[in-house]
Structure 1
């Protein structure tokens, strides 16, 4: 039997996406500079169709770069991009200036100023796909170990109009066997899932046979690729926004009960099943990037786990005073766990982060909000099996 741990309010804490307004944040940090004034990344965040001659550069206006990690994703395979810092630590460049075609680049950079303050930047861009071709960006990555809630998701570089042809060219299988069915979200995204969460130990194989498949008039696929991933243990965490707790279950057994803070009444947290999409040791959170005003800009949020495309995270928090964990909801929509500045494995947030996988399920109940949209992140578990299977292009 797994031991049942109950976290109590041991540390001063934080709220998911912020707690106070700009004045309270200013008292904690001073006014943080804008991301582009601290860590400058070219090509720009979110840039698409970046041409091969464009150069990738990371720079800081002051201080120095502490770390830079760049990853190139092609055909569901992530490859680190080697590079080097300048002697003064103010810039980074790749060893090879040529950008790959039809690839997605992810840049994670951490800078430190002369006073020891750290700031993080997370950016992505995609490179040019030659005319008359399309590819599918695949989640999860090849050879990964994922949680029981992982959904196979293909995001296409061009809108697909012949869905049946593309669907026939993608095969998702499992060992041990289980029925896996597709669902289209518009013309540029195709997801696959089984009826219920994956069984731990399942090996899932995805065959992309898209090369020369016509996805739209005059537009043909580029990939002929097989990749696979393995489902690790089952971990499902139930966040009760009314009780301010998160019950973590591993393989069906209660592992821990953790105090949390969820979205405040004016910015509630989505209800429903969400899947961990990415895990970041530290990241920057700016309210303007998720549709708010200038309520917050936190440069070093620790233990951040993305749950939706729209910006819902479960993350560590060190700035909320007084301590709201297990007591009240004060965030801007995220789920916050107690943490310390810089993050620590000894906090509830660090404990949970260290025991989590991409693909784990976090379900929120009893929030005064609607259920998260199935297309917002990997939210397909919020659809009935009948609704999920009804959208296949192959009848």
Structure 2
């Protein structure tokens, strides 16, 4: 469980003449090995060098974290390889008095600390329709899945769980899936065990509406990855419940053989899809 840090994790809308930053993950969090430090600014930054110099990210493992800008309002930090399990990360934000854009200065002087838990990297093979869960270097489970259909494939690449939702509504119209009549291609109000993998709507979630025989046999979704579940998500023995209960925000989910193309590094927390040389070239 996470506890909110001070101003850095508050909804950030600073007064005229100032800018504020929101740091993720939050102070006191325990996260997976793939969790980048992601800093969102409430106003566009034009002096990226000055603002980046006011942020320091250090790890107890000694890994070097480097910053990369995804546009003027988002600065992420990550090491070359996933964080080492069990390490502690410290983010110092010293933007007070730093001019991030003409006439707009920072106000913050604070520290955010979080812990990296055990390593868990899961690989979804859309061809074999299975997900292999590797924890601390050992396979702990192999689960049958149903990924994106041929016409609506799941993204390939390294994705990171950014949000855990016990239940959520999934409305196709919000992510561009509508029928000829303009109505949502699907609207499911109670999708259980939902783990967000992208900002564009990719989830790994429980699925109670598909036949049990579909999992491990056929890809049927609009791009999400489905695990067998029950309506209401109340059965802890289902694959979806097991994976949800054994996942942290920051865990890595790799998808391969989907045919959907590699996810953009800026889509969600997909930073790891950018080659290291590209990541560091503007630092």
Tell me the TM-score normalised to structure 2 length. 0.94
* 1:200-235 per-position Cα deviation (integer Å, ceiling 9, x unaligned): 111000000011210000011121110110000000
Q: Distance in 2 between matches of 1:187 and 1:338?
A: 40
Where has structure 1 moved over 4 Å in runs of 4 or more? 71-74
SS of 2:213 mapped into structure 1: coil
SS of 2:200 mapped into structure 1: coil
Hey, what does 2:20 align to over in structure 1? 135
Hey, what does 1:345 align to over in structure 2? 236
Residue 237 (structure 2) pairs with residue 324 (structure 1)? no
Hey, what does 1:8 align to over in structure 2? none
Hey, what does 1:286 align to over in structure 2? 171
Residue 130 (structure 2) pairs with residue 242 (structure 1)? no
2:7 to 75, 80, 87: 75
* 1:325-368 per-position Cα deviation (integer Å, ceiling 9, x unaligned): 00000001000000001112110000000100000000000011
Q: Distance in 1 between matches of 2:174 and 2:154?
A: 17
Question: What does residue range 58-97 of structure 1 map to in structure 2 within 5 Å?
Answer: 74-77=6-9
Q: Distance in 2 between matches of 1:72 and 1:290?
A: 29
Question: What does residue range 230-379 of structure 1 map to in structure 2 within 5 Å?
Answer: 230-293=115-178, 294-321=184-211, 323-343=213-233, 344-379=235-270
* 1:90-145 per-position Cα deviation (integer Å, ceiling 9, x unaligned): xxxxxxxxxxxxx32xxxxxxxxxxxxxxxxxxxxxx6421111111111111100
Q: Distance in 1 between matches of 2:22 and 2:188?
A: 30
Query: Alpha-carbon deviation of 1:386?
Result: 0.6
SS of 2:241 mapped into structure 1: helix
* Alignment root-mean-square deviation, CA: 1.4
Number of matched pairs: 275
1:188 to 59, 64, 73: 73
Query: Alpha-carbon deviation of 1:323?
Result: 3.3
- Contact conserved, 2:13 with 2:20, CA < 8 A, in 1? no
User: Structure 2: which 5+ runs fail to align?
Assistant: 179-183
User: Structure 1: which 5+ runs fail to align?
Assistant: 1-70, 78-102, 105-126
SS of 1:323 mapped into structure 2: helix
Q: Larger Rg: 1 or 2?
A: 1
Hey, what does 2:48 align to over in structure 1? 163
Query: Alpha-carbon deviation of 1:186?
Result: 1.1
Q: Distance in 2 between matches of 1:197 and 1:242?
A: 26
- Contact conserved, 1:171 with 1:206, CA < 8 A, in 2? yes
Residue 130 (structure 2) pairs with residue 198 (structure 1)? no
- Contact conserved, 1:74 with 1:137, CA < 8 A, in 2? no
Q: Distance in 1 between matches of 2:63 and 2:73?
A: 26
SS of 1:195 mapped into structure 2: coil
Residue 282 (structure 2) pairs with residue 391 (structure 1)? yes
Tell me the TM-score normalised to structure 1 length. 0.68
SS of 1:238 mapped into structure 2: strand
